[in-house]
Structure 1
Amino acid sequence: MAESKFHVPNLERALSILQMLSEKPQGLTQKELIDALAISKNSVYRITMTLMEEGYIARDETSRCYYLTRKMMILGASAMGDSHLVEKSIDEMRELRDQVNASIYLAVLEGTTGVILEQAIGGSPFKFSVDLGTRFNLHSGAPGKALLAFLPPEEAEELMSKLNMVKFNSRTITTKKAMREQMEIIRKRGYAIDMAEEFEGCHCIGTVIRDHRNYPIAMIWATGSSFNITADRFEDIGAKLLSTAEKISRKFGFLLP
């Protein structure tokens, strides 16, 4: 009886919805949620709208399915010290590290910055290492530029409108026009390049990991010194990076068009 006094039915239903969606990465429709929970359509509507407004779930406008967002992934990674994404990526990250002789990083978007979830340190005697959880700018590096390029256009434009494109040096992209031009190149090539646009002497090559909806759920990239990742290696590293990203993406249901 003591427990029922503090029982919050709608909170329990919201948690049930989150649990169900965590078990169905392809998403669930409103009808499927109603049938599974055996509650009214109005209740499901109010709960899902609240979760959407808070950024914990989103809805695919084509399939009309609800699915968990990156915000939930960040919470899970913070609570567990690891994540489903990391588990499905780490072996391929280490393999890529050995192939290209560079450090490999994995990150997701949180707000207007990227957050590093995992790293596979490697490369030349001069190695790059960061603390997990480190945030980074989107406009001045390969992973962020790749994410902007492969997000749905409306989402990319909305995200760009919130970015403070700080100028770090003469190579930094600081305008939307210049970023849009770069994004078009990235889409055609498949990966982005960072020619020391924020950190002197640091080159990066990055792309995205996609889910079954062809949606970019994470960023993956190789980082090394300009003496190690030289311009004549960009194409080779880019090809290996794309192959790695595709392998990981397939674990999330991605299929090539």
Structure 2
Amino acid sequence: MVADKSPKAGVQSVERTFELLEIIASVGGSAALGVLAEHSDLPLPTIHRLLRTLSAMGYVRQLPNKHYALGPKLIRLGESAARLIGSWSQQHLRELVERTGESANMAVMDSDMAVYVAQVPSPHSMRMFTEVGRRVHLHSTGVGKALLMQLPNDAISALVSRTGLPAATENTLTTPDALLRDIDLSRGRGYAVDEGEQEIGVRCFAVPVPDAPTLTAISISGPAARVTLKSATKVAPLLKRIAREVASEFDEHAAG
């Protein structure tokens, strides 16, 4: 028998293993067996066998309530992947800084938070600065809102019910209705805005990176006196173009 060498050919057990991990991640980081069976259409004996293997390797752990959660070994893999994503994006973020004069950032969704994986700072002495690896709430940041733009509203509501809407400043959106209205507006215009919601006096424009393997967003941010609302007419198209170029980087590295 000739082996199937088409791009769709794969090892079924590996595909099923990653399917379970992705399901656990998509439902908030932990799931009961029934949820895994419902979402995967796999028989329970198969799920048990795969989870036992993942648990023994540290990629899954069983909680006291018998739910299965993502394990600590995935942290190391995620950090390594985030560093690679950040390195691929540097040239594109540098172009954003050169064209706008403001700090450029990239973030990915990690559980119910956004984590910064790359930044190129503005050359100005007064600038926005954040540490790579910093985790921030989704509802109060430009990159966070750009990540939320890629989720259906029911998933946003479920996320908010888990995390709440803590206020970072007096401008932070602190009700689910206000956040959903803002996200709907962001989808309509194609970019998100942080109006001093994370830090007073700072404005941020952010867009999703389309078709990235994990939810990803890029942004520029700086003092509101320089990053004016009027500047969105030039900044937003630039961000969208750079986001498409970043997406092409993902495709090239995946093909390689």
Q: Tell me: CA distance 1:209–1:216, structure 2 relative to 1, closer, same or farther (3 Å).
A: farther
CA-to-aligned-CA distance 1:59-84 (integer Å, 9 cap, x gap): xx9xxxxxxx9x9996335347821x
Distance 2:15 2:218 in 1: 35
Q: Which residue of 2 aligns with 1:105?
A: 105
The secondary structure found in structure 2 opposite 1:99 is helix
Counterpart contact for 1:201–1:226, Cα < 8 Å: yes
Q: Which moved more, 1:100-109 or 1:243-252?
A: 243-252
Equivalences, count: 205
- Asked if 1:232 is matched to 2:230, the reply is yes
CA-to-aligned-CA distance 1:200-253 (integer Å, 9 cap, x gap): 1111111111226xx762121101011211222122111211111111113334
Q: Which residue of 2 aligns with 1:166?
A: 166
Cα shift at 1:141: 1.4
Distance 1:173 1:81 in 2: 28
Q: Which moved more, 1:188-197 or 1:164-173?
A: 164-173
Distance 2:76 2:106 in 1: 16
Instruction: Determine which of 5, 11, 16 is the counterpart of 1:33.
Output: 11
Q: Tell me: CA distance 1:51–1:193, structure 2 relative to 1, closer, same or farther (3 Å).
A: closer
Q: Which residue of 2 aligns with 1:144?
A: 144
Q: Which residue of 1 aligns with 2:130?
A: 130
* Amino acid paired to 1:237: V
Q: Which residue of 2 aligns with 1:38?
A: none
Distance 1:72 1:209 in 2: 27
Q: Which moved more, 1:152-161 or 1:176-185?
A: 152-161
Distance 1:244 1:130 in 2: 20
Distance 1:142 1:81 in 2: 19
Q: Which residue of 2 aligns with 1:11?
A: none
Q: Which moved more, 1:97-106 or 1:86-95?
A: 86-95
Q: Which residue of 2 aligns with 1:119?
A: 119
Q: Which residue of 2 aligns with 1:221?
A: 219
The secondary structure found in structure 1 opposite 2:149 is helix
* Amino acid paired to 1:211: D
Counterpart contact for 2:103–2:119, Cα < 8 Å: yes
Q: Tell me: CA distance 1:92–1:175, structure 2 relative to 1, closer, same or farther (3 Å).
A: same
| 5+ residue gaps, structure 2 | 1-6, 30-35, 40-69
Q: Which residue of 1 aligns with 2:88?
A: 88
**Aligned runs of 1:43-82 on 2, under 5 Å?**
47-48=17-18, 50-52=20-22, 55=25, 75-76=76-77, 78-79=79-80, 82=83
CA-to-aligned-CA distance 1:117-164 (integer Å, 9 cap, x gap): 110011533122222111111111111111111224443333232222
Counterpart contact for 1:165–1:175, Cα < 8 Å: yes
Q: Tell me: CA distance 1:48–1:233, structure 2 relative to 1, closer, same or farther (3 Å).
A: closer
Cα shift at 1:54: 5.1
What TM-score, normalized by structure 2, do the two folds share?
A: 0.68
Q: Report the aligned-residue RMSD.
A: 3.3
Q: Tell me: CA distance 1:224–1:111, structure 2 relative to 1, closer, same or farther (3 Å).
A: same
Q: Tell me: CA distance 1:76–1:238, structure 2 relative to 1, closer, same or farther (3 Å).
A: same
Q: Which moved more, 1:216-225 or 1:177-186?
A: 216-225
CA-to-aligned-CA distance 1:30-57 (integer Å, 9 cap, x gap): x7213xxxxxxxx558745653465499
Counterpart contact for 2:106–2:143, Cα < 8 Å: no
Distance 1:176 1:229 in 2: 27
Distance 1:119 1:183 in 2: 24
Counterpart contact for 1:204–1:224, Cα < 8 Å: yes
Q: Tell me: CA distance 1:72–1:240, structure 2 relative to 1, closer, same or farther (3 Å).
A: farther
